[in-house]
Amino acid sequence: MAIQQIRDNLSLIDIDQALEGFRKFISAWLYRVNGATILVDPGPASTIPYLVERLRQAGVDRIDHVLLTHIHLDHAGGTGQLLQRFPDAAVNCHPRGIAHMVAPQKLWEESKKVLGKVAEAYGEMAPVPESCISFRERIDLGGAFIEAVETPGHAPHHVSYRVGEILFAGEIGGVYVPLDEGSYVRPATPPPFRHETFRKSIAKAAGLDVSLLCLGHYGCRQDTAALFERARRQLDFWVDTVKRHFRKGSDPFEEAVLADLIVSDPDMSGWRSLPKDIQARERNFCFNSIRGIRGYLMKK
């Protein structure tokens, strides 16, 4: 793991897992404003010791606010362990996620069923004390504000956070893999997926007056308008592609859809430039996104 200084008061912390291909994939964000220290998405439980060490190297001896964009293991799974080191931190989480963070056993068991060995590598969640976690739509930082913006789509408990001109966007804008030339991009649409809900959230995020997007996967972008327009376009393209294969009964389904998308989706043009281990990682996540869209179509 390493720290990248994005601005004087903003840093990206790489959170790599002990899994093949899981590097330069998860972004935790450290932001300091008006004397407050903010950490966005601390990451999985297994990497908290490394995160704490990087925070120490950055001179962090106190965290005031932990902002969770959503409660999936790769973003929020280590929150309970982090609070053992920083017990005074206040955690902000969507109301639908709070009970799962306080009593995480059900979420952990379900995550193991869906993710298998990936969940085991992320590590088991520790409970977050109920007194430490709440949902606040607006947090006053003495002249600056944290604004929580509900952006369901990737998950029903997904929240983006605006602080001044910065938006900590989680997975509302998709997943980026930066390449030497261009990038590889895909939407994150795991079950349960709702197309119109996701589209409305993208539109809401696109309407915010920000100039820097800090992504959960991976890095940051300044082309905010273009990013959200691409996210909407690619989302619609994936839904249309899955629908076409669903109607003609493609089999094996996920493999057929992915092969089509690799050829036909211009935003996935970087697929062949991905290292083989990252291709393997992305294949599994793409299958999950395709299953999410297929489940949505089956219910229509």
- Tens-binned pLDDT, residue by residue, of the chain (300 aa): 588 999 989 999 998 888 889 988 998 999 999 999 999 999 999 999 999 999 999 999 999 999 999 999 999 999 999 999 999 999 999 999 999 999 999 999 999 998 889 999 999 999 999 999 999 999 999 989 999 999 999 999 999 999 999 999 999 999 999 888 878 999 999 999 999 999 999 999 999 999 999 999 999 999 999 999 999 999 999 999 999 999 999 999 999 999 999 999 999 999 999 999 999 999 999 999 999 999 999 997
Which tokens hold the place of 117? 């060995």
Bridge partners, 160 (sequence order): 149
* CATH, range 3-299: 3.60.15.10
Residue type, 171: E
Q: Whose CA is closest to 153, among 128, 173, 172, 180?
A: 172
Q: What is the pLDDT of residue 247?
A: 97
Pick left, alpha or beta for residue 21 (phi over 0 → left; psi -120 to 50 → alpha; otherwise beta).
Answer: left
DSSP symbols for the chain: --EEEEETTEEEEE---SSTT-SS--EEEEEEETTEEEEE----GGGHHHHHHHHHHTT-----EEE-S---HHHHTTHHHHHHH-TTPEEE--HHHHHHHHSTHHHHHHHHHHHTHHHHHH-PPPPPPGGGEE--SEEE-SS-EEEEEE--SS-TT-EEEEETTEEEEETTT-EEEE-SSSEEEE---PSS--HHHHHHHHHHHHTS--SEEEESSS-EES-HHHHHHHHHHHHHHHHHHHHHHHHHT-SSHHHHHHHHHHHH-GGGGGGGGS-HHHHHHHHHHHHHHHHHHHHHHHH-
With contact defined as beta carbons under 8 Å apart, do 62 and 37 qualify?
yes
Rounded CA-CA distance 212/121 in Å is 31
Cis, peptide link before residue 218, omega less than 30° from 0: yes
Bridge partners, 91 (sequence order): 66, 133
Q: What is the pLDDT of residue 31?
A: 98
Q: What is the pLDDT of residue 1?
A: 56
Q: What is the pLDDT of residue 178?
A: 86
Q: Whose CA is closest to 110, among 74, 80, 73?
A: 73
Q: Domain boundaries in the chain? A: 3-299
